[in-house]
């Protein structure tokens, strides 16, 4: 849709950015009035019935797109716009505590040091993705093997490599052919052979130290890794179990 335009109120408007909001658990577009997207100090977007928010006439530069609403958490994503072409991005909204979690999902309702960065993932090789090519330290692009019907845009992963430190990666924009732009440069080298990407979910513990994350389709026998990075790094392993909820305590005193 390069060079796309909208006609509204008899004025020609240049489409700069289209943001699609989808439910991170179901993969369905979020429609109706349950969520919204905006950019501070920019004019409101045009909201479409299919869950698309269209921003027009943005100057070239970096912007922070904010989204929130209904039973979903507030999120923010930075994007650099180009006046010469329209850009699209997908944001996957994560459930808030008021969200009705479907059966088969796992609620993670835990505590940690206030302000700690939380990462939760289940290191299951069966659901992991493989790299298409070596990923080099400092790169903001990664290539992943998957079918043409799959898109990982807006998703977070734990990049795991044998004999190397693990790191979180977040896919911001799809560049086609299994190639994705990353939110931050890679910290280490990850060769194609011996590396895998498993879905990872992140949060920041609030002022009371509470955090909330929902994992999709987790078998009761699955191993769940919970990690908190605050004044110290704590990492604990739990079994998903059959109750549909675990309450990790990621502090030095349990």
Residues of the chain with pLDDT under 70: 1-13, 253-254
Please write the tens of the pLDDT for every residue from 168-208. Answer: 999 988 888 899 999 999 999 999 999 999 999 999 999 99
Residue (of 198, 146, 142) closest to 171 by Cα position: 142
pLDDT of residue 242: 85
Please write the tens of the pLDDT for every residue from 14-26. Answer: 778 899 999 988 8
pLDDT of residue 9: 46
Residue (of 45, 52, 54, 53) closest to 29 by Cα position: 52
pLDDT of residue 127: 80
Q: Is the pTM of this model over 0.85?
A: no
- Token pair, residue 189, equals 């080298």
Q: Are 29 and 218 contacting, i.e. CB atoms less than 8 angstroms apart?
A: no
pLDDT of residue 218: 82
**Angstrom distance (rounded) from CA 183 to CA 74:** 18
Backbone angles phi, psi at 91, to 5 degrees: -115, 125
* Rg of the chain on CA atoms, in Å: 19
pLDDT of residue 118: 97
pLDDT of residue 137: 94
pLDDT of residue 254: 55
pLDDT of residue 245: 92
- As a whole number of angstroms, the longest Cα–Cα distance in the chain is 64
pLDDT of residue 65: 93
Per-residue CA distances from 73 to 8, 97, 99 (Å) = 31, 9, 10
């Amino acid at each position: 849709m390069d060079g796309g335009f909208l006609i509204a109120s008899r004025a020609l408007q240049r489409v700069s950015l289209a943001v699609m909001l989808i439910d991170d658990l179901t993969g369905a577009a979020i429609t109706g009035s349950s969520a919204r997207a905006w950019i501070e100090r920019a004019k409101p977007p045009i909201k479409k019935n299919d869950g698309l928010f269209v921003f027009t006439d943005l100057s070239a530069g970096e912007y922070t797109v904010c989204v929130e609403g209904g039973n979903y958490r507030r999120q923010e994503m930075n994007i650099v716009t180009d006046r010469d072409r329209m850009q699209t991005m997908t944001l996957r909204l994560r459930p808030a505590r008021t969200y009705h979690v479907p059966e088969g999902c796992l609620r993670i309702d835990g505590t940690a040091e206030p302000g700690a960065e939380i990462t939760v993932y289940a290191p299951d090789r069966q659901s992991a993705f493989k790299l298409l090519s070596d990923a080099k330290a400092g790169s903001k692009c990664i290539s992943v093997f998957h079918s043409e019907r799959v898109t990982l845009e807006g998703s977070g992963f734990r990049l795991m490599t044998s004999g190397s430190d693990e790191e979180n990666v977040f896919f911001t924009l799809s560049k086609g052919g299994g190639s994705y732009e990353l939110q931050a440069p890679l910290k280490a080298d990850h060769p194609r052979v011996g590396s895998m990407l498993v879905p990872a979910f992140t949060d920041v513990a609030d002022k009371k130290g509470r955090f909330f994350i929902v994992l999709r389709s987790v078998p009761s026998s699955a191993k769940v890794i919970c990690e908190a990075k605050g004044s110290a790094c704590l990492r604990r392993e739990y079994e998903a179990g059959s109750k549909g909820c675990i309450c990790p305590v990621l502090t030095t005193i349990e």
